[in-house]
Amino acid sequence: MKTIQRWTIGSGGFIGEVTLMEMSEWDRYVVGRDTARTYVELTNLYVHPLRRGRGWANELLSTAKEFAYDNNWNLFLRAVPYGKDPCEVEQLIALYKRHGFKSTRRDPREMLLRWQNTKAK
């Protein structure tokens, strides 16, 4: 997969990051081959444990969503924090749902964000 855009926050130390990447061939089954070109994958949303609870994840996610919207892309992601407690996965899914993501029918941890782009072309 090719990185499209990455944002990192940190001044005097790492705070967090998020990345948008091209969807892989493997992931195209989620949205269908015909529509996959309008999707990018949101990956690596991470906030350092000592910096959590201060709104950084919301800021990173909002920045990525705005960039995708400006480029007329829909977002796909997997809410799978490797090696994490299941309740942390639930918190992560709740964060994404607050930002408008919906779970796929196949797996509740796979989530899509679709919107009608109302910008003039």
pLDDT tens, residue by residue, 70-86: 888 888 887 766 666 76
Q: How far apart are the first and last CA of the chain?
A: 28
Render pLDDT for 40-52 as a digit per residue (tens, 0 to 9). Answer: 888 888 888 888 8
What is the reported pLDDT for 63? 93
Whole-number Å distance between alpha carbons of 43 and 33: 20
Render pLDDT for 89-115 as a digit per residue (tens, 0 to 9). Answer: 788 888 888 998 888 767 777 777 765
pTM of the model: 0.76
Position 53, amino acid:
G
Looking at the structure, give the CATH architecture of the domain made up of residues 3-78+88-113.
Answer: 3-Layer(aba) Sandwich (3.40)
Whether residue 35 is predicted with pLDDT greater than 80 in this model: the reply is no
Task: Count Cβ neighbours within 10 Å for each residue of 70-99 and write b for 16 or more, e otherwise.
Answer: eeebbbbbebeeeeeeeeeeeebbeebeeb
